[in-house]
Amino acid sequence: MASILLIFICLIVGYLLKRYHLVKANSFEALNTLIIYVALPALTLQYIPNIEINTDLVFPILMPWINIILSWLLFGFLGRRLGWSKAITGALIIMAGFGNTSFVGIPIIQALYGKAGIETVIMVDQPGSFVALTTLGIFIANIYSDKQKPTTAGIFKNILKFPPFIAFVLGVVINVTQIAIPTDINTIFETLGSLVVPLALISVGMQLELDFKSTYWKYIWMGLGFKLLLFPAIIFILYFIFFQQSGQVIEITLIESAMAPMITAGIIASSYDLKPRFCSLILSVGIFASFITIPFWYWIVQFFG
């Protein structure tokens, strides 16, 4: 119960800090920097060295890739068929194609499954969501943007220098070589990693913004309909029925598939001039909507899992 309350309290704190101008409008960027460069790498190094690597991890890693590929196929087709602009088509593909598997996913999974569930979240987020975003996501952004296209070498450079990815690779090396991490070092990782949840939620709260007069609402409902309902349903059918998988890892993977659009994906889409206002709005609406749909999917996995 405390973890659920923490989610709402931190969101409200973030929103009030921005609403009453107690912080600068872009203060969330500083929090995101702390998360990306300090807290998330520490959390990764806390869990990855101790994860038992097996074939079960294929399913959580694969899920984000399925998400962006299906989003591209669906909204790429609709964009051509309905005559949408390249910018809105690209923005919709990216925002519906990546879930907030870390910033919102970590506190929600921790609330539902405890700290043990974070191991699965890390596998979904690092080799899954992040690698898909920084490769296929950037590739798609280039296709639908009028900005200059980066080189393949530039894309790989961005991946290799991203702190959580560096921490992920280091964690895998430590895991495989079975290097013992001193208790004091692991305590430091645990302390810094614990900052992810409150900082991420306060950051999200600072970015909450609703514009009921926007012309983007029809695209928002299509994107969220896919991201929060259709795609989790596909994962349920694929994983639970077709592949006949079960257990906590698969349950968490399904709930992660139902997360609201990813904040980092919105940052990337906006940086390529893919309708920044739309990206901001679907992020805000998606977070509120996911608080309704995630309990539904949690009930589904408890009933059928």
What domains are defined for the chain? 2-209+218-304 (1.20.1530)
Q: Looking at per-residue confidence, does 103 or 43 come out higher?
A: 43
Give dist(CA 163, CA 128) in Å, integer. 15
pTM of the model: 0.82
Mean per-residue pLDDT over the chain, rounded: 88
Q: Tell me the pLDDT tens digit for each residue of 12-59.
A: 999 999 999 999 988 888 888 898 889 888 988 988 888 777 777 899
Give dist(CA 288, CA 286) in Å, integer. 5
Among 4-8, 43-47, 91-95, 203-207, name the one with the lowest average pLDDT: 4-8
Full DSSP string of 155-207: HHHHHHT-HHHHHHHHHHHHHHHTPPPPHHHHHHHHHHHTTHHHHHHHHHHHT
| Per-residue pLDDT, 119 | 80
pLDDT over 60 at 1, yes or no: no
Give the residue carrying structure tokens 């990782």: 189
pLDDT over 90 at 224, yes or no: yes
Percent of the chain with pLDDT over 70: 95
| Per-residue pLDDT, 213 | 79
CA atoms within 13 A on the CB side of 202: 17
| Per-residue pLDDT, 148 | 57
pLDDT over 90 at 236, yes or no: yes
- The dihedral of CA 302, 246, 171, 100: what is its sign? negative
Residue range 101-113: mean pLDDT, rounded = 84
Q: Looking at per-residue confidence, does 13 or 110 come out higher?
A: 13
Asked if residues 286 and 224 have their Cβ atoms less than 8 Å apart, the reply is yes
Q: How far apart are the first and last CA of the chain?
A: 22
Give dist(CA 229, CA 256) in Å, integer. 12
